[in-house]
Amino acid sequence: MAKVLSPEEFLELGKSLPMIDVRTPAEFEEGHIPDALNIPIFTNEERVLVGTKYKRASKDSAVLLGLELVGPKLAKFVKMAKKFAPQKEIMVHCWRGGMRSGSMAWLFETAGFKVYLLKGGYKAYRGYIRKQFAEKSELVVLGGMTGSGKTEVLHEMQKQGAQVLDLEGVAHHKGSVFGALGQTDQPSNENFENELAKVWLDLDPNKPIWVEDESKSIGSVWINDALFDRMRQTDVVKILIPKSERIKRLVEEYACFNSEILAHMISKIGKRLGGLNVKLAYESLEKGDYATVADITLSYYDKAYRHGLSKREGQTIHYLELEKDNPAENAQKVIEFYNSLKK
């Protein structure tokens, strides 16, 4: 008989055994446990047919239809399971831990597998990970104006032993209107949260956990309420880097992109920049004067960041002045600065 595990137990065991998600491809694409594999009992269309039969006829007739649809695929399911789990130990879940996962567990056990089921299914997993973000931990926010290299500083801090939750890395977006340039497609909001949770669950809550200062949304995805509330309540270490250094960074990061693409991005914040600034930015793009373009856009982003920071009540902000845009050196200075604050 399949062993039923809590979400915490299921995730821990999932580090060494294959996790099989038996929901439809559409459900799986919308959101799934990181590293899970999809062996759908029903196709997207088949699930609609079974659901319609359940609503319009009866549960029994829906079950019979389901059996008719699944019957010819049983051998295929077992073959796929053997491919994923040659040692014949496998983990299975569906949406709520009901008939779909139970049926697949029965099939795999019949084929000689040792099977583990997720109690409450994917829905229970989602509830579990959301609670974890609200648990007590030493969260620290790294702030700074656009172009300060915060993401690279965090990466260097991680190399130096700090715990980091890379929001922009998981989101595949750098946060600004230019943030999608050079990035792969963003995940669904569920998968963004799931991937964050995967990292979060492996961090030590008794040691500092660093995140970059972000707004609620990063491109098309959103930081969940529990984590975002924590980010707005904890200390911020804001690095202050000269504007000239920030302009150099932005030129290095974005001058490689087509001028038409950059002009389109500028148009998205055109109203906030003002007509004259937009005109100057377009003219500078045509001349290849990317430094001026960066300077103009920073006038908007700096103002927006200062305004946002001023509205945060009850949040302590510590300022650290840095002379150069040198992520490795700045990472060390940030760590030393924060450690001095704790003494």
What is the DSSP secondary-structure string of 56-112? HT-HHHHHHHHHHHHGGGHHHHHHHHHHH-TTSEEEEE-SSSSHHHHHHHHHHHHTT
User: Residue 214: which of 171, 250, 255 has the closest Cα?
Assistant: 171
Rg (CA), the chain: 25
Q: What are the tens digits of pLDDT across the range 112-141?
A: 999 999 999 999 999 999 999 999 899 999
Q: Is the separation of the CB atoms in 231 and 210 below 8 Å?
A: no
Q: Which amino acid is at 240?
A: L
DSSP code of 256?
T
Query: Domains, the chain, ranges and CATH?
Result: 3-129 (3.40.250.10), 136-342 (3.40.50)
pTM of the model: 0.92
For residue 109, count CB atoms less than 10 angstroms from its CB and return exposed for 0-12, middle for 13-18, buried for 19 or more.
middle
What is the C-alpha separation between 265 and 250, in angstroms, rounded?
Answer: 14
**129 to each of 11, 95, 134, how far by Cα in Å?**
10, 15, 9
Which residues form the catalytic set? Answer: 94
Q: What pLDDT, on the 0 to 100 scale, is given for residue 179?
A: 87
What is the C-alpha separation between 77 and 81, in angstroms, rounded?
Answer: 6
Q: Is the separation of the CB atoms in 9 and 16 below 8 Å?
A: no
Q: What are the tens digits of pLDDT across the range 31-89?
A: 999 999 999 999 999 999 998 888 898 888 888 998 899 999 999 999 999 999 999 99
Where residue 38 falls (left for φ over 0; alpha for ψ -120 to 50; beta otherwise) is beta
* Per-residue pLDDT tens digits of the chain, which is 343 residues long: 899 999 999 999 999 999 999 999 999 999 999 999 999 999 999 999 998 888 898 888 888 998 899 999 999 999 999 999 999 999 999 999 999 999 999 999 999 999 999 999 999 999 999 999 999 899 999 999 999 999 999 999 999 999 999 999 999 999 888 889 999 999 999 999 999 999 999 999 999 999 999 999 999 999 999 999 999 999 999 999 999 999 999 999 999 999 999 999 999 998 888 989 999 999 999 999 999 999 999 988 998 888 888 777 778 999 999 999 999 999 999 999 999 998 7
